[in-house]
Chain A
């Protein structure tokens, strides 16, 4: 998916007061950015740069829904008595900018890229993805539940990004990583050359953020360890408190399971693809009534196996970016960090 292979990376700075002007010049694009409403930070399509909040740790929902919407209309069918059936497919021409995405969530999108383009090219995802530019903001104040550095990421990781911006005081340090990113820079005269002092400050900001994630553990051993743990009693005990809701999976930047349904209404119908969650009992139920994952321990095991074994086996990368949302928002305080630590001890 990345076109950065032959691109020579370049760095710039932009004054904070000029950001609004830069964004206003991008009127060809829909800009999705973090927005604070009632203490809930979410990415939304913004009309005015004033709506953006950059004072945030991370959004409640990762912005993966910009490339993988929770509900995607794949086609619409209209029945006409004279003309018969008419089928409309979405054009997906919209050009998007994801402004202010955190490196962990961008890495999540890089993980989704492989899923939706390697074995089979999913036209909906890939079209959207091709038309989306990711402007990342280095994480400066990681949340206590963050553990990106234990799963191959970092607060300044560039995976999946077209640009990485770092707050260096009165300006942002802008690392341009792809041709797509450079094209945006060229549209504006608000960017200037970096000084060696700028670079020093940027490096220090990155280092400070990395140091703040004090808890580190090694998840690399998990794909192998899990190989022998399928029938372990551990799953029965650890999953007892799980409610079987889908908040961990729906708030996860790498979960991508979906379901497809046809919805009819009189002379109209649409085929929709919606997110699905392996934590729901209906997820694997067969038409026969047989459910291969009947209990929540089976479903919880699947979630952990997918993230730390199956995904690694298939794509050579863990299916977790360490954003910590599944800990923060779990109604029963399920702690995936504790799970990983416990599993690595075995």
Chain B
């Protein structure tokens, strides 16, 4: 157990015992050694479940708005206590974004900040392990800075960090949590710059090739909504693509019901799939902080991060704006400045 892990556990224990938080959102061991899974710690005696290691991939911030969406609250949930949450540097940008949009207020959370050296993409690691027939059962992992040392069946294997970490970690500019109440670990300095090479490669393709590329990507979509539901800024209770979610009350007239436009049909065809993804992208433009969760959650391996990176690049280039940096910042699409470029609406 690392110092960070032990210190987090101790702090959570204290907060729960003092009644300062109703629960703590962190990570616990998952279904196999390559995964951790989000955990919700309600009792002080359960704090030893909490882990902190390079498999702590999930962005937990979305659970804060999820908590508010619950339609029927049980008595114990009505208490106005805060929620404790462990937030990595990248994920803290989505937390800042939600604070700036007033979807959560600062006094509703106790933020556990942490320094992060990068997290592992289990798919990449598993592929390398399978290639060398390395068994997973008793796998442990350590880092020496540039490499991860995997121990399995008493043998050691070294994997370069950049071969198995999440793509987003390779140009991470935010290794430390941006805002926090408690910080764990030594702050990490970085002079990394955002890398848009993959986006530029797609941009450089002729129109037909780009169309072909994205058609192939979106044709794979099964519309399970994992990308949307995992997204911390996709918090709407009623989503534009869920036409059936129209809330009908006894006062809703038949005309209102009839006029409820189904923006998106349920048939899973290329046109509808494109509409789904592009609508989502437009809705998160200037709000997405590239935590990469949508691409990670997609069972069909759709390259959604290429789109979110493109959004980030455009927003930065056109408006010199970066989402999730400043709690006081106004959302990009709600402000207008004289110097804003207008080419795109001509």
Contacts and interface: CB of A to CB of B under 8 A. Distances in A.
A247 B30 CA distance: 18
A295 B299 contact: no
B30 A333 contact: yes
Given A245-B226, A331-B226, A333-B35, A60 B266 contact: no
B40 interface: yes
Interface in B300-316: 300-301
Interface in B233-292: 242, 244-245, 247-250, 252, 257, 262, 265-269
A337 interface: yes
Nearest to B38: A241
A238 B244 CA distance: 27
Interface in A258-273: 259, 261, 263, 272
B176 to A, nearest CB: 25
A289 B249 contact: yes
Interface stretch (B69-77, B113-121, B183-191): B69-77
Contact of A145 (B31, B223, B242, B262): B31
A250 B298 CA distance: 12
Interface string A49-89: 00000000000110000000011000000000000000000
A236 interface: yes
Given A261-B266, A333-B36, A245 B224 contact: yes
B50 interface: no
A245 B228 CA distance: 8
A244 B257 CA distance: 25
A40 B301 contact: yes
A329 B299 contact: yes
B222 A288 contact: no
A274 B268 contact: yes
B49 to A, nearest CB: 12
A38 B136 contact: no
B267 A272 contact: yes
Nearest to A263: B265
B297 A245 contact: yes
B267 A274 contact: yes
B229 interface: yes
A256 B31 CA distance: 26
Contacts of B299: 60-61, 247, 250-251, 329
Contacts of A338: 31
B177 interface: no
Candidate in B40, B136, B257, B266 with the most chain A CB atoms within 10 angstroms = B266
A26 interface: no
Contact of B31 (A60, A241, A282, A335): A335
A295 B71 contact: yes
A298 to B, nearest CB: 9
B330 interface: no
Given A71-B269, A261-B266, A294-B71, A241 B222 contact: no
Interface string A274-288: 111100111001011
Contacts of A39: 127, 301
A61 B268 CA distance: 15
B267 A263 contact: yes
B39 A241 contact: yes
Contacts of B63: 240-241
A51 to B, nearest CB: 16
B91 interface: no
Contact of B38 (A40, A145, A251, A332): A332
Contact of A38 (B247, B262, B301): B301
Which residue, of A145, A240, A289, A294, has the highest number of chain B Cβ atoms within 10 A? A240
Contact of B224 (A71, A236, A277, A295): A277
Contact of B58 (A250, A294, A332): A332
A60 B300 contact: yes
A249 B299 CA distance: 12
Nearest to A141: B130
What 7 A-B pairs are tightest by C-beta distance, nearest first?
Answer: A331-B297, A333-B37, A245-B226, A294-B71, A243-B229, A282-B244, A329-B299
Interface of A: 38-40, 60-61, 70-71, 144-145, 236-237, 240-241, 243-247, 249-251, 259, 261, 263, 272, 274-277, 280-282, 285, 287-289, 291, 294-295, 327, 329, 331-335, 337-338
28 contacts: A61-B222, A71-B267, A144-B32, A243-B229, A244-B225, A245-B225, A246-B224, A246-B226, A247-B224, A247-B226, A247-B297, A250-B222, A250-B223, A272-B265, A274-B267, A274-B268, A277-B224, A280-B225, A282-B245, A285-B245, A288-B248, A288-B250, A289-B248, A289-B252, A291-B71, A333-B31, A335-B30, A337-B31
Given A241-B63, A247-B297, A285-B244, 9 more contacts: A40-B300, A259-B266, A272-B265, A272-B266, A282-B245, A289-B252, A294-B72, A329-B299, A331-B58
